Amino acid sequence: MAKIVLVTGASAGIGKATAIYLAQNGYDVYGAARRIEKMRDLKDYGIKPITLDVTKDESITACVEQIFKETGSIDILVNNAGFGSEGAIEDVTIKDAKYQMEVNVFGAMRLTQLVLPKMRQNNYGKIVNISSVGGKIALPLGGWYHASKFAIEALSDSMRMEVKPFGIDVIVIEPGGIKSEWGDIAMESLVRVSGSSAYKEMVKGAEKSYKQTENNNSEPIVIARLIKEGIEANKPKTRYAGGSMAKMLLFLRSILSDKMLERLIISQTK
């Protein structure tokens, strides 16, 4: 029987590409997002759209219970829903910071909590957590986003060891630059929050850097293929990196001292 997959954040970008790609390769896919109207076209691929707001426990619970009722289990969970809250740490309100963590961290972990019992019962499961190169390297003006992705990395490592005895794999995906609405939304947030603050010159530099690199970003299918590779491997790697600049940046992180890396990053925001 086809494996049951739940992909969150399936209305655009990586989530949408992943849902379609897995459906085309024989998986039984549910695509979840707040904006169900943006997922109507997924039905053409045999994907079942389902409403999900990862900041509301009742929505998370209803989503999982509906899939369990219709299929009996969720074999593969792709925790992709997320966004980037940009702005200097001094400028971002704690309310907005909490919302960033609710979406990128707590929503993903609550979903995971709800699917794990069935996975343990079946002695099979794949938890795929979409992190980022930004889960290993922190840039200025994105502290809360990076905090959320650093958290996903740590939670994934702890969980991997916890669930391994039950036949469950935890896989981290670390995208680099990917073509999606994510970047434009993040830049709009950055300008709104810190564009007129004490950090405005740094914001200008960040905008310039983004505009110079956005055309080189990779298509979301690159990450969809990595996810498929991970969930189909007999012994998946703990992490898969792909997309524009991903492997190069992670390599630099591994060989440069903190101070050297900081100087390199700051030079790109001037």
| pLDDT (tens digit per residue) in 47-67 | 999 999 999 999 999 999 999
pLDDT of residue 211: 85
Instruction: Specify whether 145 is catalytic.
Output: yes
Judge whether 216 and 178 are in contact, CB under 8 Å. Answer: no
pLDDT of residue 185: 86
What does the alpha-carbon distance between residue 173 and residue 227 come to, in Å, rounded to a whole number?
7
Q: What is the domain-level CATH number for residue 176?
A: 3.40.50.720
Condensed to tens digits (0 to 9), the pLDDT of residues 142-171 reads 999 999 999 999 999 999 999 999 999 999
Judge whether 4 and 28 are in contact, CB under 8 Å. Answer: yes
**How many domains does one find in the chain?**
1
- 214: pLDDT strictly greater than 90: no
Instruction: Specify whether 149 is catalytic.
Output: yes
**In which domain, by residue range, is 90 found?**
4-267
Catalytic residue among 149, 179, 199, 240: 149
Task: Residue count of the chain, please give it.
Answer: 270
Tokens of 157: 């490592």
Q: With residue 26 as reference, give the H or E element that holds it.
A: none
Query: Any idea of the CA torsion for 193, 197, 202, 205, to the nearest 10 degrees?
Result: 70
Catalytic residue among 145, 179, 199, 240: 145
pLDDT of residue 1: 82
pLDDT band (50, 70, 90) for residue 210 = confident
Condensed to tens digits (0 to 9), the pLDDT of residues 173-198 reads 999 999 988 778 889 999 999 999 99
- 269: pLDDT strictly greater than 80: no
